Structure 1
Amino acid sequence: MKKCFEKVIFITLIAAWVFLLCGSVKCEDKVLARVGDQVITLEKFNKRISQIPPFFRQRLNTYEGKKEFLKKLIETKLFLKEALRLNLDKDPDVKARIEYSREQILANEYIKRQLINIKEEELRAYYDKHKKEFFQKEAVKLRYSVFKTEKEAKEALKKGSLKRRWAKWVERGQLPPKLEDVVFSLKTGEVSDVIKAGPRYYIAKVEEKREARQKGFSEVRNLIFAKLRQKKQATALKKLKKNTEIIINEELLKK
């Protein structure tokens, strides 16, 4: 068993090396690895990589990344072979899960092909029409403490301690007017005097300041894409529901 496994690893290393040398040459028939009577071709290997989300796919741009991914494929083949030997594919529960996965894959593929066909012009048009939506207000990164009495606030100010150990960004319009006026007049690193706003007393420190500005298209492109995709999906779903009779047995669902 050990020798067999070592042989598989040896083939893996050689095949990965061939993969690096292949370059632009047509490699559909190149065998990257053999696992018993099964083969993993370079074409299938590349296809599997292309199906991985971009964020994770970038980790496979190196030799080590490809080798690790191939190792996982080999392990899957080994476990799959044993699962089939034990007829696990005939198990009702397993078959139900496979069918569920199949339905999810097909539904997602429909969404991907039919609903996410959003052109660059659409994204740009949305941005131009909704620029106010992407206007970044003036903001401060604020650290503050709240007190019930003025005496407590003054004692804390004298000691130079702020209870809140972390800071958060606050835009204009998010704070009570009296507190906001003082906070936005502070310089970076400056600590306020005791501020009375409503029934509470505050001490605030500004750690950073951010000027108001219009966000550029490139900054919000992905956000716009997500918005339009969600809108298209909702519209399509509404149409499908309208054209399909859907009956739900609420009483049975409650049991």
Structure 2
Amino acid sequence: MTQYNKKKIGILLMSSLIIIGLLAHKYWSRNTTAGSDRIIANVEGCEITVDDFKEAARASLSNKYASADNLKTKFDILDDLITKKLLILEAQNKNFDKDAAFLKEIQHYWEQALIKRVLNEKLSELSLKIDVKDSEAEKEYARMRQKILAQTVILHNKKAAEELSKAADNFDETKVKYKDDIVLDEPDKWYLYGDLPRYIEDIVFDLKQGETSAPIAYGSNWMVVRVLGEEKGQIESFEKAANSIRQNIFQRKREELFEKWMTTLRSNSSIDISVKNLKKTEVK
């Protein structure tokens, strides 16, 4: 082949490629939606937009060292997106998206996402209303240092519990008198702050040695606690513990505010319960 013919063929090939490129561009422009510069790929009619890619890139690169400006990295991210699109299309072709179990799973996810959102919003709102005073942190620290020796008695009769709480020095004799009403008579025991349920602890740790609590509701029973002794424990300094203490108080206050809000929400809502259906429902 002469040099002239080679040159002629090269010009023809180049011209053909240019024409094909122009036709392809014309076809693509005609067969994509408006704003096609926002579309990175089209998989069986499913578009992958610039926004789709950016969202996937942010998630993919958050725990990696790769640069988002690297073209290979971009192709890797796009390849993952295309794979996902193809798998979704395959699942749809098999009608998995119409399966009852799948739809139930989607509903569950949707409900959980809504609950998470409303909880985050409400907790953020409640947080703005909370103030932890220095005196509260100091009182909490003092309780953390406390160790108390206590005698705990649980009774099923409130009147017997009231009599026992007023017995003072006749505590043991009164226990004998109401022995048939006693559900549990705990041996004397040392308690640290945090060993008891919060609502009981708030009462017990305010008692002095020799004092007895009023009856404390304990499920369907009543608890009476008598403090027999006190000691101061060794813990880190207030300066070191202060931030942690304030955070604990903050969390507790927020939980209390949330419970109050939930109580109000329940009381303002129409809720009907079929006890009959609840009783006959078997859980296996």
Larger-gyration structure (1/2) = 2
Tell me whether the two structures share a fold, i.e. TM-score over 0.5. no
